[in-house]
Amino acid sequence: MAETKVKGASKASNSTKKSSAPKATPQGEAATDTVKQPDPVLPPVNSEAEQATGAPKATTPDQPQFPKETYLQWYEQMQLMRKFEEKAGQLYGQQKIKGFCHLYIGQEACVAGAVSALTKDDKWITAYRDHAHPLALGTSPNAIMAELYAKATGCSKGKGGSMHIFDKNVNFIGGHGIVGGQVPLGAGIAFAEKYNKTGNLCICYMGDGAVRQGALHEAFNMAMLWKLPVIFVVENNGYAMGTSVQRTSNVTELYTLGESYDMPSEPVNAMNVEDVHNAVARAAERARAGEGPTFLEFKTYRYKGHSMSDPAKYRTKEELEDYRSRDSIESVRHTILTHNMATEEELSAIDEKIKAQVLESVEFAETSPFPTADELYKDVYVQQDYPYIRD
Ligand SMILES: Cc1ncc(C[n+]2csc(CCOP(=O)(O)OP(=O)(O)O)c2C)c(N)n1
Ligand SMILES: [Mg+2]
C-alpha cells in the first residue's frame, strides 16, 4: 500500500501510523461572506486555494495501483454524481427543484474512493451536501431526483428534500442540515456496531465548518475513549459558505484537531481518488481491528457555490480553474485511456448510459405525485405507541 504523509498523536495506545456582512438570500441563508478587497488576513490570491486545501496537482502513476475494474467503477460512479447534479442544478434554475440545494460537483473522489475501500454493510452519514453518497452506494437516481422534487416516490417520501436524502437499504443514514449534527450521530452509529459486534464501521463526513462545533469535540473524545469503529472525514473544500478556513481559526491544518484526542489523523489529497481509497482502507483496517477511530482531512474543492443561491464572489476564477485542472474524473479518465483499460468509445458508452439514467430520473420525478396531506405526521417516531402521534 502506498506510503503517505501521516501525522497524529504518538501517545495513542494503538501504535499504528497516525498518522463583509453576509448576504441574505431568498431562503434566508447567508450565502456569501463578501470580500471585495484583498483581506490582510488571507494569503495572496492564487495561493489561497493551495493554502485552503493544499491539494497537489494530480499525477498519473506509471503503473496503475488498482485493477481496471476499480478505475471503471470510479469513472462511472463519479460521472453519475456529476451528471446527476449538473441536471439538478439546471432544474433548480427552472424552479422545478425548490428550497435548499447544495451540489457536490468537484468533490466526487471523496465518496468514490471510500466506496471502493469499504463494504456494503458499513454505515454512512453526512451533512446536507448529500446527493453523491447515496448515488455511489446504489440508491436509485429516480428516488433521489424525486426527493429533490419533493415527490412521494422520493427516498424520504418527499418530506426531506435535498438536505435529507436517506436510504436504509444502502446503509445511508442521511443527509443532515445542522452543521456538525451528524458527528455525534456517526459516533453513536459506530457505538451500536461495536455493541452488536457486527464488525461493521461508520464513515462520518462533515464540512470544514463543522470542525468548529463543540459537539465534534465531545464526539471525538468519547469515540477515542471507547475505541469506536468510526472514520471521521472532514471534507475541507476551503470554505464554510463564503468564509475561508483561514478566517475561521488559527488552526488551518484541520487533521491536527484529532491529535488533541490522540486520534490517528492524516491529511489526504482528495482530488485523487486513489489516495482517498488508500487512506480509508487504512482507517477501516484499524477500526475493524478494534483500534478505534481515525480522522481524515480530505483536501478538496467545490466548483459551484455553497448552495444554488451563492454566486461565490469570495473566490477568484483562477482559484477555481486551478482546482478544475486537477479534476478527479479527468484524472481517472486519463489513467484509463493511458493504460488501455478502456477505449474512448467504451467510456462514451458509459457516459451515454449515465445520461439516459439521469433523464429517466427526471421523467420519474416529473410524473410522480406529491405526498398527500396525511403524510405530514407519519414517520416522525419509530415507536408506534409514542404519545401525541396523530396518525
Ligand atoms: C448549527 C448550524 N449553524 C449554521 C448553519 C448554517 N450553515 C449552513 S451550511 C453552513 C456552512 C458549513 O460549511 P462546511 O461545514 O464547510 O460545509 P460545506 O458546505 O463546505 O460542505 C452554515 C454555517 C447550520 N446549518 N447549522
Ligand atoms: Mg466547506
Q: Cα separation of 128 and 99, whole Å? A: 12
Residue with CA at minimum distance from ligand 1 atom 13: 240
Predicted pLDDT of residue 378? 86
Residue of the CA atom closest to atom 7 of ligand 1: 179
Please tell me the distance between residue 372's alpha carbon and the centre of ligand 2 in angstroms: 36
Q: In what order do the strands lie in the sheet with 294-299?
A: 123-125, 202-207, 230-236, 294-299, 265-269
pLDDT, residue 269, reads 98
What is the predicted pLDDT for the residue at 56?
A: 47
381 alpha carbon – ligand 2 mean position (Å): 32
Q: Is 70 exceeded by the pLDDT of residue 343? A: yes
Average pLDDT score over residue span 178-194:
98
| Cα 319 to the center of its chain, rounded Å | 21
Pick from 107, 179, 246, 300 the residue to mutate for probing ligand 1's pocket: most ligand atoms within 8 Å of its CB.
179
Average confidence (pLDDT) over 368-376? 94
Nearest in space to 172 (alpha carbons), one of 103, 210, 115: 115
Percent of the chain with pLDDT over 90: 79
130-161 per-residue burial string, b: 16 or more CB within 10 A, e: under 16? bbbbbbbbebbbbbbbbbbbbbbbbbbbbbbb
pLDDT at 187 over 60: yes
Which residue minimizes the CA distance to atom 4 of ligand 1?
A: 179
**pLDDT bracket for residue 52 (50, 70, 90):** low
The Cα 97–Cα 120 span in angstroms is 30
User: Ligand 2 mean position to 300 CA, how many Å?
Assistant: 9
Using the structure block, give the residue that is written with the C-alpha cell 478505475. 71
The pLDDT, as a whole number, for residue 41 is 29
pLDDT at 8 over 50: no
Band of pLDDT at residue 357, cut at 50, 70 and 90: very high
Predicted confidence at residue 391, as pLDDT, reads 54
pLDDT digits (tens, 9 = 90+) for 89-134: 999 999 999 999 999 999 999 999 999 999 999 999 999 999 999 9
Question: 208 CA to middle of ligand 2, Å?
Answer: 5
Averaged pLDDT, 290-294 = 98
Q: Which is higher by pLDDT, 39 or 388?
A: 388
pTM of the model: 0.86
Strand-pair category, 239-240 with 243-244: antiparallel
Out of 61-65, 139-143, 160-164, 305-309, least confident range:
61-65
For a ligand 1 pocket test, name from 107, 211, 213, 241 the mutation site with the most ligand atoms within 8 angstroms of its C-beta: 241
The full set of domains in the chain, from first to last, is 66-362 (3.40.50.970)
Taking CA atoms, 170 is separated from 67, 133, 155, 203, 339, in Å, by 24, 10, 11, 13, 32
pLDDT at 26: 35
